Structure 1
Amino acid sequence: MGRTDEAGSSVAAPKPPKRTYGKACASEPKGKSVAANVKTKGKGIATSSRANGKEKRAERSSSEELSEEDANVVVPAAEPPKKKKVVKKPKAKPPTYSEYLRKLRSMKQEETFYPDLDLLQRLGILDEVRGVLHTIGLGNLMEMLHPSYKDVTCQFLASLQVNHHNEEGPDNIAAGFGSIEFKIGKEQYEVTFREISDAFGFPVEGRSCLRKLAYYGNDLQQLWWALAAGSYEAGVSKAAAIRSPALRMVHKILADTFLGKKEYSTVYDAEVMMIGEGLKPLMPSFKSGQIFYGDSRKPTMAALLVKNFMAIKKWAHNNRIKEPSMRIGGLITPILQHIGVELSGDKIGYRLMDAYLKKINYLHGTVGEFYAYNFTLEEKITARVLFPNRALTSLAERKNIAFYITKDQYYNPEIHPPVQLIRKPNAAKKPCVNTPAEESNHVNTELELPRPIYGSRRYCLDPYDGPMMNNATEAAHRRTKNLQRWNKWKDKNFKKMAGTVRSLVYTVKKMGSKIKKLNASLRGTKEVKPLRVHAMKSC
């Protein structure tokens, strides 16, 4: 339909504007639901018209109203983002008594190591070692030589539970500073910390909580500088860096007997701090002038022992070692004997520490009635001193803790007799008695020249293990030994390379034969030479 203007001319009715989504109109009315929804979506309504064959944009007047169809259009609201479902991993169940017992029984039970008191007496350091251990609170540990029983030890550790108190007080003292519970067979037992202290002769001092020894500030580093050469790093520093023979033996007793470690060549925080507690009366301050405070709230020795039992129990269940072993049974036997538990099963005796201490480079040998002791001056530089020598080993003098001695006190092969290597009695060779016929044959064979050795084996010489003139000679022998190891390693690589070359030659010849067969089949001939593989000469 059209309409007429005042002049009577006919004018076409305007078409309703088309809605498009684009930029919002500046003159758009507010308050309408559709406009509000569109505005929330960040879109606007625009109109378009065509004039003179060209597309033009025009703003819609404020007086225009939306049609009923447009008013009913509702823009859908944005859906909220879906929350990802976080699947919580189920907590691992604690191992049962049967699992602990199975793991412990699968481990190898070794003898508990104890110090050799006769050897310490011959070295002249028994009183010093005993004094430091007594100050720590482990004075009776050296004399308590007990065997171990595998089945009883496994049952004790598998069922061990600890009830401890965090603070001291009359109630806690009356309760025995806490207790442990365990099961042997079908019987349930409870032993207080005080009873454990009575079984070992530990002093009833300190806290009963299962807390580690703790040193604050740089006390630990200062203590290591007072004992050993080089800087300290837990699990990396070597026990051989401790210079004093008495303190080095104390560390070996702590790591080997009290803590039951199989690997005692490296030093950890607990061992250094226990040595520090034993030296606190002898060394109230460090060389730098700093006061040595130590741990004023240290736990009792019974608490430290129980904490070590719990650590071994956890390690036994979580370790992935191919052939694990433990040697702590000798410290469980006194507890069971103190409360009257009947010990049965496989009995494993105790064992004295390496009586000759050759394996850990503690002693080098004997010079008459004296022992040659090895100690570290700097990194990989060692010296030897002859013991017994009370002037050097007595810890009553402050300088002997650091074990700084002059060069004229070193072992000198030019002045002293040669060092005789110490060998175990079972390794000593028995004297052989030859018959007259064997002696005549021996005389005849001495004139024969030795058989020549060819190849790289002629460079593999036995290391010299006799007395050295000085440190330079010892360092030269050590470097020569490293060079021989490098040559052996190269020989192994050459053998592997020769085997690889042989297999490669065989593969190449086999591929050549296959190519010839393929060519013959393509030509229609069947004459193919058989495969011949010649073994490659060894390199």
Structure 2
Amino acid sequence: MQEQQYQLHHIPLMQSRTCGESKRREDDWALVTFVGEQNQDPRKCKKAMEKVNIEPCVKMDTQTLDLLKIRDDVTWYIRKLGLSKLFKLECSEYSQLTKEFLSTVALAFPNHNGDQPAGEGLLLFKIGDANGRISISALCQLFGLPNETAHDFKENSKRKQAAFADWTHFANEPFLPSRSKVSRITHPAIRYVHRLISTTFQCKQEANKVTTDEFYILTTPFIKHEYKANLGLLLAKTFINVRKLAKDLEGNKKLCVRFGRLITAIVLHVGIDIPNYEPLPKPTPLDLHALQHIHFLNRWTKDPTRFCYEFPIGPANTSLVLLPHEDIPSLRSGVVTFQPNEEEFYVPSTCSQDSTPLQERHVLTTGMAAPSALDRVNKLEKIVECQSRFISRLVRVVRHIAPERLFRPSSTAREPYEPDLGEFSLDSELGSEGDDPIDEEESSSHCHT
């Protein structure tokens, strides 16, 4: 979640009956400070939730990690971050329950003098007629998160710039908040864990940029930061920030939420019965198919046991390295820079007949989308050629049958090129109805040219 200022409002604690924690500290909550907007119009909240898509959570796929031989690094990394219990959590997910929670959730702190530990925060929400609440400390205990005292990741400007510069060890470039690309990260295990974190602690349309919070979470095991933020509080702020993000969306854009299982766990923990809502499908594994979709890797057709990892070279260029790779450093050693030898880079293209043996050694076929893409290009080229011939024939016919005054060419006009086609048939050029169809979008784009 990007750094931002939260407005504070002094509002008495709701007096209605609540579920969850005991009321032994009820007096401490006689007056609380809410974080973010508290007075919400239910109609506006409902309208905002229409722009939120609730999708199944993303879970770690151990089989994929074994194939890439990065399972040990990923599990060690997650354990050092204190996220093992959270990522292993198994709960049913409900779209309606998640939207109901997000439309009513609020975050508050008691009005005490002095700095308040992050764990003293209180998360308030409503499901049906039941009011629920859970403290940030209890939230951390529920998900196994370290109960740090800091509200945010804070460092003085000099230390922050030094920390941002250390990002060059991770991604071969200094860190720029919400501008640094995930694809610049060199170590595949770190990129994999970032994907898990971005779908849990963030609510954003695109996961291809690294936010400030993600930077601090990812670098915590390797860089000594001044303050470690309470991850339970960051998660709570993500919950209350969904409404604002949804309201700010323009047009028909949608916001994607993939942490419904966490909300289910919270609701069950405070003792609220879940209504008879329809559950979402099973969690989406972050497997080979998902990694291909986010341009993480691709299958190498010459050896099905190896995979093409998109490795960043410089500030913009990308090459391919085959995984598993014996030179990937172990994160346990504290080394986060993966730098393969230059001769191990591959070019994602097909072999040509005039390629030299040296070039062929560096050429691989990604295999998954290339054949279909080439077929599509060839078919589109045939359509364009066919349309050109058809237009030429049509112009010639119209010139022949139309009155001469309608076609009065200039002195520089030339006859359109028309090869000897014999009996020309549009159907014969495009194929019969049984041929593979072309996407309507691509076909229509050529028809209007």
TM bracket (short chain): 0.5 to 0.7
Matches within 5 A, 1:292-441: 293-294=224-225, 296-327=226-257, 328-344=259-275, 345-349=277-281, 350-353=283-286, 355-356=288-289, 357-366=291-300, 367-397=303-333, 400-410=335-345, 414=360, 418-419=364-365, 421-422=367-368
Q: Does residue 219 of the first structure (1) align with residue 153 of the second (2)? A: no
Return the alpha-carbon distance in structure 2 between the equivalents of residues 382 and 362 of structure 1: 11
Structure-2 change in CA distance of 1:420 and 1:233 (3 Å): closer
SS at match of 1:379: coil
Structure-2 change in CA distance of 1:231 and 1:416 (3 Å): closer
SS at match of 1:347: coil
Give the TM-score taking structure 1 as reference length: 0.54
User: AA paired with 1:334?
Assistant: A
Return the alpha-carbon distance in structure 2 between the equivalents of residues 337 and 240 of structure 1: 38
* Corresponding residue for residue 158 of structure 1: 103
SS at match of 2:186: coil
Structure-2 change in CA distance of 1:364 and 1:451 (3 Å): closer
SS at match of 1:386: strand
Q: How many Å apart are 1:337 and its aligned residue?
A: 2.2
* Corresponding residue for residue 41 of structure 2: 96
Task: Tell whether the 8 Å contact from 1:374 to 1:385 is kept in structure 2 after alignment.
Answer: yes
Return the alpha-carbon distance in structure 2 between the equivalents of residues 199 and 368 of structure 1: 41
Q: How far does the alpha carbon of each residue in 1:179-209 deviate from its partner, in whole angstroms, 9 at most, with x for none?
A: 21111111111211122122211122333x4
Q: How many Å apart are 1:108 and its aligned residue?
A: 2.8
Return the alpha-carbon distance in structure 2 between the equivalents of residues 255 and 332 of structure 1: 16
SS at match of 1:273: helix
Task: Tell whether the 8 Å contact from 1:239 to 1:248 is kept in structure 2 after alignment.
Answer: yes
User: AA paired with 1:216?
Assistant: S
Q: How far does the alpha carbon of each residue in 1:364-387 deviate from its partner, in whole angstroms, 9 at most, with x for none?
A: 223231222121111343232222
Matches within 5 A, 1:137-286: 137-164=82-109, 177-207=120-150, 209=151, 211-212=152-153, 214=155, 216-217=157-158, 218-280=161-223
Task: Tell whether the 8 Å contact from 1:148 to 1:348 is kept in structure 2 after alignment.
Answer: yes
Matched residue count: 329
Uncovered stretches (5+) of structure 1, i.e. residues with no partner: 1-91, 281-292, 429-449, 460-508, 510-537
Q: How many Å apart are 1:106 and its aligned residue?
A: 5.3
User: AA paired with 1:242?
Assistant: I
User: AA paired with 2:168?
Assistant: W
Q: How many Å apart are 1:340 and its aligned residue?
A: 2.8
Aligned CA RMSD, in angstroms, stands at: 3.7
Return the alpha-carbon distance in structure 2 between the equivalents of residues 168 and 203 of structure 1: 25
Task: Tell whether the 8 Å contact from 2:125 to 2:132 is kept in structure 1 after alignment.
Answer: yes
Give the TM-score taking structure 2 as reference length: 0.63
SS at match of 1:189: strand
Structure-2 change in CA distance of 1:452 and 1:317 (3 Å): closer
Q: Does residue 125 of the first structure (1) align with residue 56 of the second (2)? A: no
Return the alpha-carbon distance in structure 1 between the equivalents of residues 179 and 42 of structure 2: 35
Structure-2 change in CA distance of 1:258 and 1:368 (3 Å): same
Structure-2 change in CA distance of 1:181 and 1:396 (3 Å): closer
Task: Tell whether the 8 Å contact from 1:179 to 1:192 is kept in structure 2 after alignment.
Answer: yes
User: AA paired with 2:135?
Assistant: T
Q: How many Å apart are 1:276 and its aligned residue?
A: 1.2
Bigger Rg, which one: 1
Structure-2 change in CA distance of 1:203 and 1:242 (3 Å): same
Q: How many Å apart are 1:143 and its aligned residue?
A: 1.7
Return the alpha-carbon distance in structure 2 between the equivalents of residues 234 and 204 of structure 1: 25
SS at match of 1:258: coil
SS at match of 1:128: helix
Report which stretch shifted further, 239-248 or 152-161: 152-161
Q: Percent identity?
A: 22
* Corresponding residue for residue 525 of structure 1: none
Structure-2 change in CA distance of 1:265 and 1:172 (3 Å): closer
Q: How many Å apart are 1:256 and its aligned residue?
A: 2.1
Return the alpha-carbon distance in structure 2 between the equivalents of residues 455 and 161 of structure 1: 58
Q: How many Å apart are 1:176 and its aligned residue?
A: 5.9
User: AA paired with 1:110?
Assistant: E
Return the alpha-carbon distance in structure 2 between the equivalents of residues 254 and 160 of structure 1: 22
Q: How many Å apart are 1:420 and its aligned residue?
A: 5.3
SS at match of 2:166: helix
User: AA paired with 2:273?
Assistant: E
SS at match of 2:319: strand
* Corresponding residue for residue 109 of structure 1: 54
Higher relative contact order (CA 8 A, sep 6+): 2
Return the alpha-carbon distance in structure 2 between the equivalents of residues 451 and 148 of structure 1: 43
Report which stretch shifted further, 109-118 or 183-192: 109-118
Structure-2 change in CA distance of 1:190 and 1:378 (3 Å): same
Return the alpha-carbon distance in structure 1 between the equivalents of residues 123 and 193 of structure 2: 28
Return the alpha-carbon distance in structure 1 between the equivalents of residues 108 and 380 of structure 2: 72
SS at match of 2:167: helix
Q: How many Å apart are 1:359 and its aligned residue?
A: 2.5
* Corresponding residue for residue 13 of structure 2: none
Return the alpha-carbon distance in structure 1 between the equivalents of residues 317 and 116 of structure 2: 52
Q: How far does the alpha carbon of each residue in 1:209-246 deviate from its partner, in whole angstroms, 9 at most, with x for none?
A: 4x355563213431221111334333332111111111
Structure-2 change in CA distance of 1:305 and 1:416 (3 Å): same
Return the alpha-carbon distance in structure 2 between the equivalents of residues 176 and 206 of structure 1: 6
Structure-2 change in CA distance of 1:256 and 1:393 (3 Å): farther
* Corresponding residue for residue 4 of structure 1: none
SS at match of 2:134: strand
Q: How many Å apart are 1:133 and its aligned residue?
A: 2.4
Uncovered stretches (5+) of structure 2, i.e. residues with no partner: 1-36, 348-358, 373-378, 389-405, 407-447
